[in-house]
Amino acid sequence: MVFQSHRRSLGLKPTHPLVSALILGLTLSVTLFGQPAMAQIGNRPDLGDAPASNNNFGVGMQWFPGSPFNAQFPTVFFAGAQPTGPRHNNSPTVYFLGNSGAGGTITCENQADVGADCDGPNNINPPANTPNQDLGDDGPVWGTLGAINGCPTKTYTYYVTSLAAGTTTAYVNSWYDFNQSGFWGNTFACSSTVTVDEWIVKNQVITLAPGVNVFTTPPFPAAQNTSSNPRWVRISLSESPLPLASAAARRGSGPAQGWRLGETEDYRLPN
């Protein structure tokens, strides 16, 4: 199976006034354990870009063109409400998914579907039924997941960049729409001996050293689907774990108040 990742963010866009303010007013440098200084970046709020029918426009989004029902992935942030899309305030930014260096792999947006966005388009455009527009998503290495045939046990590799001067603890969660239903959260039998949970990574604890870190998820059961429709996958990096008994967390939501740190990346993977 061949995966197509998001387009990469190749740097800041100085023509955007918000980005110019970030460049001029919030950039400084730190030296990490004798290594060349990495640029410390300021506020970089972040949200995902999976299709969300619960949005500020009140219109349904299909999880693939021509789907007979709407996508129910939580992406748009609704403060104090559940389910809500994960939002990472990053004030300031301490760590993020990816390995392209400081500032290269996390965009800044206060909301997923409206308002200013540092990489140009909003993450999702509900009226146009267009998701998958965050240009800074590059944490996972989907080729390490490999083909899903039958009911295998899988892992995947991902990168995290830390701007902290010392070690930092963070948490990783991930969801995979194996049965291509347009939402995460299902648990189902793949065979007589294998039960698949679409919340594939639950509060993996990682220790970040300064700079670029590489990790592998814990093993999880996966399920093949013969449909040609795409599968949506989410990975969230945060400073605190999700409650395992939460129905909203099972569906891919973050905390009702948002996270203080981290990043959420969504991917549309072909079958």
Sorted by where each begins, the domain ranges of the chain are 17-269
Q: Specify whether the CB–CB gap between 31 and 37 falls below 8 A.
A: yes
What is residue 136's predicted lDDT score, i.e. its pLDDT? 92
N-terminal to C-terminal alpha carbon distance within the chain? 7
Report d(CA 23, CA 6) in Å as an integer.
24
Question: Which amino acid, 128?
Answer: A
CATH of domain 17-269: 2.60.40.10
What is residue 32's predicted lDDT score, i.e. its pLDDT? 31
DSSP state of 94: -
Please name the residue that has the structure tokens 């700079």.
211
Tokens representing 86 are 């994960």
What is residue 41's predicted lDDT score, i.e. its pLDDT? 74
What is residue 16's predicted lDDT score, i.e. its pLDDT? 42
What is residue 163's predicted lDDT score, i.e. its pLDDT? 95
What is residue 85's predicted lDDT score, i.e. its pLDDT? 97
What is residue 102's predicted lDDT score, i.e. its pLDDT? 61
Q: Specify whether the CB–CB gap between 75 and 49 falls below 8 A.
A: yes
pLDDT one digit per residue (tens) for the chain, 271 residues:
333 344 333 333 333 433 333 332 333 233 333 333 355 677 999 999 999 999 999 999 998 888 888 999 999 999 999 999 999 999 999 999 998 766 667 999 999 999 999 999 999 999 999 999 999 999 999 999 999 999 999 999 999 999 999 999 999 999 999 999 999 999 999 999 999 999 999 999 999 999 999 999 999 999 987 778 889 999 999 999 999 999 999 999 999 999 999 999 999 998 6
Q: What are phi and psi of 250, to 5 degrees?
A: -60, -30
E-only strand ranges, 71-186? 87-88, 95-97, 140-141, 153-154, 157-162, 168-176
